[in-house]
Structure 1
């Protein structure tokens, strides 16, 4: 049973996250102190967000709609599918230089772009097979290292708590966007007698509308594994992450 004290503590934590994240003075101060890093962060995230919001069927059609040559569709591919690399590596590199806020922004924005465009990850998973799942897991490690290094990056207090909560959320979203579908295809490769339709099974990542085989019901297991990894990197946040993962899993089942 969850005690009243735990419930109140969780409510206060959520209030702190909302208050700090929406603190305009803190955010504007960081932007003014690091304008180049923030411009770089926006340049990395905005194209992918624009494509996602445009709801175009392909990169080429999006470029045509925007009055640009469809031969430049590879640029959008970099800023959408490329978030698989960009989000974790930029987060790590920016954090290493003390720019934790822009790094967090890219981690959250890049993960959101990936989860909103599942077809690209599904196609890579189908083309490469089970090694791609291992590759995606490896790419999540830089963000876990950044989370583990929180004491070196931020002073104790509300700001560190909020930063850890948001980065942990970004890692979970990245897991859903990349590791879950690639793991599903890996399971199909190893366990399905007939892998026909495995790509289609993974395109709709959030609903899991169809399965290529029974083994694919275990494709969400990496979320639990990532919760454990986040708990290792941030022991004090274990309760928060458990609640977040429960919400994610409930959403995936709906």
Structure 2
């Protein structure tokens, strides 16, 4: 399974940069090009023949829907993902056989699901099931390398210039940033509850209201309570509830 070549089309530079950054967390996805207009998007698609095009809807002169209708006529038809701030175009987008319709601001969980849909469309014979992933996390401790199962991790947090990993049986101190660990653990059930904390959702047992919209979180087998920033509460509840 080779890299998924991707073209990002958006008339706003910061929107292109944000999506490029987020897609960089997926090792199988490579952004091969960008375009800031519909006309440029068609030329880039002809030149690069990407597997996937992330396409904004509202653009001057030629909008994303018009671009998509042209792209589906190409010899190599890319998978089309609409990425926009406007939900009202979704029905028309799916009539063009779009794979997905992402709303800004981007939700990383939804983006992960989009990438999984792309992989299933591009490689139907290779079922992508990250829930069955067997990889272990490599931890350097005093020159040695320990390998731990992600499912054994309770939570991870940043403490000054080091990151601490708390498992069911041991604690580890590493130099790896929390952001890098979050990226490596993306296929597993981890969620950021605070800018400095990452928890394994499989061990969450209780959420308790605290103050100013924040919550406290309890994990199985752990006496201490962890603080959940109010900015993360809504998404956390969506992840936890059926």
TM-score bucket of the superposed structures, by smaller chain: under 0.3
Larger Rg: 2
Q: Which structure shows the higher helix fraction?
A: 1
| Greater strand share, structure number | 2
Indicate the structure whose relative CO is greater, using CA pairs within 8 Å and at least 6 residues apart.
1
